[in-house]
Amino acid sequence: MQVRLESIGCRLNIGEIEAMARGLAKAGHRVVGPGTPAELCILNTCTVTSIASRKSRQLIRQLKRANPSAALIVTGCDAELAPSEMVEIGVDLVVGNAQKERLLELAEAEGLLDMTPTDPDELELFEPGDSTRTRAFLKVQDGCDNRCTFCVITIARGAGRSVPADAIMEELHELQRLGYREVVLSGVHLGSYGHDFGDQRGLQHLVERALAETAIERLRLSSLEPWDLDAGFFEVFSYPRLLPHLHLPLQSGCDETLKRMARRTTRKEFSALVRDARRAVPDLAISSDIIVGFPGETDEEFEQSIALVEELAFSRLHIFRYSRREGTPAEKMSAQVRGPVAQERSRRMHALAADLEHRFNSKLVGNTADVLWETAEDHGQTLRWSGLTQNYVRVTATTSLDADLLNVVTPTEIVDVVPGGVVGRILNSEF
Ligand code: SF4
């Protein structure tokens, strides 16, 4: 059967869809892209902002239009919070987040799919993500026990729970067998990994075990909440296969706003953590998330955010304009920030983020990085390859048309800075 898989939102959603692709491949199904008609479509939705929710529904309609006779299954946070609306727009099966891991099984029970394992010798040689088999997002944790007042994810995904380490090791071996060079360990609240098993240093132990028991070449951590880390955690970065990149969501640089957000950190604690991390890990890139226009954010509070973001010199910043999410405490807070004010704050924060990214990337010029090449664009006489450094900087490099760099890691000299990344010169003489 031809199955179209789509995901909106976070890396965790991508990881879940990739796991489904591996399950489908084992049963002999073929995952197809947008240009090929599908007999079944599966969409992992998102509701982190009102825009994400709108995009989820737009994609449902697009999938139906492009594949009118296909069955359509949706799962994920938007489907979890609005199942009846999904059915109204023509979805055949809605699978809640708690059942997501059993989605293929449930689809089979509904007669939408046959999941009988196929004899491996008869399998068409399909490997999930065939065209982009470079980095895999591996879900190791789901849910969250915190209650940040803006966050709908904690409502949609439930309490925190960790995937047992033995199952993760099996998945890592499988990803290695499929040829992935890099694995990103992902979770809603990754830093709490193992807490439900009573291991307060669970993530550190998981990383150590993954590096000791598998030969995955590059291991990366997705977003980590600052309060889960201490200076001792950074010792894990002494393993060179753990890539020197941390994504630490700050959300606001003002203590009063952080308190209203129920974030379990302060300006002082966050800054100290960043200092400890940089001291312990050379070449570390630290990226972050910021919300602008949170209810009650005054001009003075916003200026504190701007000042802290500048002082901490993040390598990259994801900026979210606060969006009211039903069922969250922040939705009911008084003093919602007016749209034009939030828009102007977003503009200023974006300008600062671009400047900081440029400053960080400029320091790489003249250095050599190991780049994992992921995609190529045809530019007539040449190919323009795009890849990632160890510390998560996007690199482009030009090669001849016959160079095949997909899923190859090369030493690359960084020669220039461009918006959104750097330009590299591949040092490997083969290319
Ligand atoms: S830590 Fe806060 S923002 Fe992150 S998932 Fe949990 S409640 Fe949401």
Q: What is the pLDDT of residues 173-225, one digit of tens each?
A: 999 998 999 999 999 999 999 999 999 999 999 999 999 999 999 999 999 99
Is residue 131 predicted with pLDDT exceeding 60?
no
* Ligand 1 atom at shortest distance from the alpha carbon of 223: 4
Query: Strands across the sheet with 2-7, in order?
Result: 30-32, 2-7, 40-45, 71-76, 93-94
Is residue 317 predicted with pLDDT exceeding 60?
yes
Q: Mean pLDDT over residues 67-73, rounded?
A: 94
* Centroid of ligand 1 to alpha carbon of 140 (angstroms): 16
Q: What is the pLDDT of residue 119?
A: 58
Is residue 409 predicted with pLDDT exceeding 60?
yes
* Centroid of ligand 1 to alpha carbon of 154 (angstroms): 6
Pocket test for ligand 1, best of 46, 150, 188, 318 (most atoms within 8 A of CB): 188
* Centroid of ligand 1 to alpha carbon of 41 (angstroms): 29
CA–CA gap between residue 270 and residue 404 (Å, rounded): 43
* Ligand 1 atom at shortest distance from the alpha carbon of 144: 6
Is residue 120 predicted with pLDDT exceeding 80?
no
Task: Tell me the per-residue pLDDT of 1-54, one tens digit each, with 9 for 90 and over.
Answer: 899 999 998 889 998 998 999 899 888 899 998 889 999 999 999 998 889 999
Helix 267-280 vs helix 299-312: crossing angle, to nearest 10: 10
Pocket test for ligand 1, best of 11, 189, 263, 294 (most atoms within 8 A of CB): 189
* Ligand 1 atom at shortest distance from the alpha carbon of 225: 1
CA–CA gap between residue 425 and residue 212 (Å, rounded): 33
Question: With contact defined as beta carbons under 8 Å apart, do 203 and 209 qualify?
Answer: no
Q: What is the pLDDT of residue 134?
A: 87
* Centroid of ligand 1 to alpha carbon of 248 (angstroms): 12
Write the CB contacts of 379 (distance below 8 Å, at least 6 apart in sequence). 398
Q: Mean pLDDT over residues 95-116, rounded?
A: 91
Q: Mean pLDDT over residues 340-349, rounded?
A: 97
Residue that wins the pLDDT comparison between 123 and 55: 55
Is residue 133 predicted with pLDDT exceeding 90?
no
pLDDT classification of 126: cutoffs 50, 70, 90: very low
* Centroid of ligand 1 to alpha carbon of 153 (angstroms): 7
The token duo for 365 is 């010029």
Secondary structure (3-state) at 21:
helix
Ligand 1, atom 8, lies closest to the CA of: 151
Is residue 130 predicted with pLDDT exceeding 60?
no
Write the CB contacts of 289 (distance below 8 Å, at least 6 apart in sequence). 223, 247, 249, 250, 251, 317, 318, 319, 320
* Centroid of ligand 1 to alpha carbon of 35 (angstroms): 36
Q: What is the pLDDT of residue 128?
A: 41
* Centroid of ligand 1 to alpha carbon of 254 (angstroms): 18
- Mean model confidence pLDDT for the chain: 93
* Centroid of ligand 1 to alpha carbon of 151 (angstroms): 6
Pocket test for ligand 1, best of 12, 77, 144 (most atoms within 8 A of CB): 144
* Centroid of ligand 1 to alpha carbon of 263 (angstroms): 8
* Ligand 1 atom at shortest distance from the alpha carbon of 262: 2
* Centroid of ligand 1 to alpha carbon of 148 (angstroms): 6
Strand partners of residue 6: 43
Is residue 132 predicted with pLDDT exceeding 60?
no
Q: Mean pLDDT over residues 325-351, rounded?
A: 94
pLDDT classification of 127: cutoffs 50, 70, 90: very low
Ligand 1, atom 4, lies closest to the CA of: 189
In DSSP notation, 220-288 reads: EE----GGG--GGGGGGGGSTTB-SEEE---B-S-HHHHHHHT-S--HHHHHHHHHHHHHHSTT-EEEE
Residues with CB under 6 A from ligand 1: 144, 146-148, 151, 153-154, 188-189, 225
